[in-house]
Amino acid sequence: MINALRGMKDLLSTQIEKYDYFVKNASKIALNFGFEHIETPILEETALFRRSVGESSDIVGKEMYEFVDKGNNNICLRPEGTAGVVRSFIQNKYDRIAGVKRFFYHGAMFRYERPQKGRLREFHQFGVECFGESNPYEDINIILLLKEILDFFKIEYTLKINSLGCEKCLPPFKENLVKFLSDIEDGLCDDCKRRIRTNPIRVFDCKNKSCQELLLDAPRLGVSLCDECSKSFNFVKNFLLEANIKYEVDSNLVRGLDYYTKTAFEFVSTEIGAQNAVAGGGRYDKLVKFLDGRDTPGIGFAIGIERILNLIDLPKTEKSGYYFGAMDENAISLVYKLGVKKRKQERVEIAYNPKSLKAHLKTADKKGMRYCAVIGENELKNHQVWIKDLVKKEEFLKNIEEF
C-alpha cells in the first residue's frame, strides 16, 4: 500500500468543506478591498527564494524542497507566497506603470521540516500583496482586511505590531545591536551566535529562555526610529486606537531582512495556545528593488489556512436538491432521464439500481437531499413520479410531462 508522504495530508470531508468555505469568503472580502486574484507557479527558480527569503533564514537554509530538473535548472517548490508574486509583478512590468496594484492568492506551500502538530510539509496559505503605495493608510487597510477576514470566521486573536525601521534608521541600530550581542555572545545559543554575523535582528525571534533573558537589556529599534518611520508608526497606532482595535506593541516581532521596513504585524490566536500566529505580514518597501525591479513600496500578509481550519465552524447547510430512484427495473431508464434534465437546474443524485421506497428515502436523507423522487410499477403505468419533500415532510404525485 502506498501512503501519502510524511507531513502531507489529504484534505477531505469536513476539512475540505471548511477549506473551500474559508477561501471563498476570504477571497470575497479581498475583492471588496480592491484586490485581484493572482496565481503564480508552485515551482520557481531556487535563486528567487535565496535572494528574497534570504540565505540566513531557516526556510532557505534547511527547509526547501530543492532539486535539479532534467534541464539542469536549480528549482524548488515555493516555501512561501510573496516571492512569486513579486517576481510576477516585476516580470509583467507593473513596476514601470504608475499606480497601485493589489493581489490576493491562495495555494500550497512546501517546507521540509520535522512534521509536528499544526505544522505540515505541505500547507496552504491565503495572502495579499499591495504594490506602489507608501501611505500608512495602506498599512491600516491591510490590517483591517486581515481583521475583517478573521472576524468573519469568528476567530479570537491578539494583534501585535512593531516597526522595523528603514534604510536610514536600521543600519545604525544594527551596528549598536551587534556591539551589544558581541559582549554577551558566550551566553547565547548557537543559533544566536551565528545570527550575530548573519542576521543579528533575528535574535529577538529566539525561543530560547536564556537568550530572551540576556536580551532584556538589548537596544530596541522602537526607540531609535528615524522621524519618518516614527511618524508612520504613530499614525498606525493612533488609527487603531481611535478605531477601537486593541493591539500590543511587540519589539520581539522582527523579520530580520533588510527589505522589510516599517510596519510589521501578527495576529496571534488566543484559542490555540500561546505563540501561535495564524497570520502575519508587514511592509517590504525594498523587496521589489532587491529583486531587480524599479523601487516600489510593498506590503502584504499571509494566513496559515491549516491553523485556521480547526477554529472555523461551518454554517449549517440546508437540505437541497433531488434524489432520483426506481423501485422497478423497468423504471430505471426513465428515472435516469429525469435526473439528467433536473441536473441542469440543481444538485441531483441518481440511483442506478432498483430499491425499496424505504431504502431510497434513507439514502436521500443521508445525502442531504431536499426531495426524494421515486418511480415504481404504478407510477410508471400512470406516467407519474412520486415525490417526498424531506423538509416539509409532504408527499405528492406529479405527471412526468408536468415535472
Q: Kindly tell me which of 229 and 380 has the beta carbon lying closer to Zn ion.
A: 229
Q: How far apart are CA 25 and CA 23, in angstroms?
A: 6
User: Please, which residue, 215 or 364, has the CB nearer to Zn ion?
Assistant: 215
Q: How far is the CB of 238 from Zn ion (least distance, A)?
A: 18
- DSSP assignment letter at 395: E
Q: What is the dihedral of CA 288, 125, 255, 97, to 10 degrees?
A: 20
Identity of the residue, 168 or 337, whose beta carbon is nearer to Zn ion in the bound complex: 168
Grid cell in block for residue 15: 476539512
Residue 181 has what DSSP assignment? H
Residue 239 Cβ vs Zn ion, minimum distance, rounded to whole Å: 19
How near is the Cβ of 282 to Zn ion at its closest, in Å?
Answer: 14
C-alpha 76/C-alpha 58 separation (Å) is 15
Q: How far is the CB of 165 from Zn ion (least distance, A)?
A: 5
* Cβ proximity to Zn ion, 200 vs 300, nearer residue: 200
Question: To the nearest whole angstrom, how small is the minimum distance from the Cβ of residue 166 to Zn ion?
Answer: 3
> What crossing angle do the helices spanning 227-242 and 136-152 adopt, rounded to 10°?
40
Q: Which is nearer to Zn ion, 142 or 229 (CB)?
A: 229
Alpha helix positions (H), 199-322: 209-214, 227-242, 287-290, 305-309
Which CB sits closer to Zn ion, 159 or 166? 166
Residues 83, 66: Cα–Cα separation, whole Å: 16
- The sign of the dihedral angle between the CA atoms of 242, 248, 254, 255 is negative
Which spans of this chain sit near Zn ion (rule: CB under 5 A)? 165-166, 168-169, 189, 192, 206, 208, 211, 226, 229
Q: Is 185 helix (H, G, I), strand (E, B) or coil?
A: helix
* Least Cβ distance, residue 297 to Zn ion (angstroms): 13
DSSP 104: E
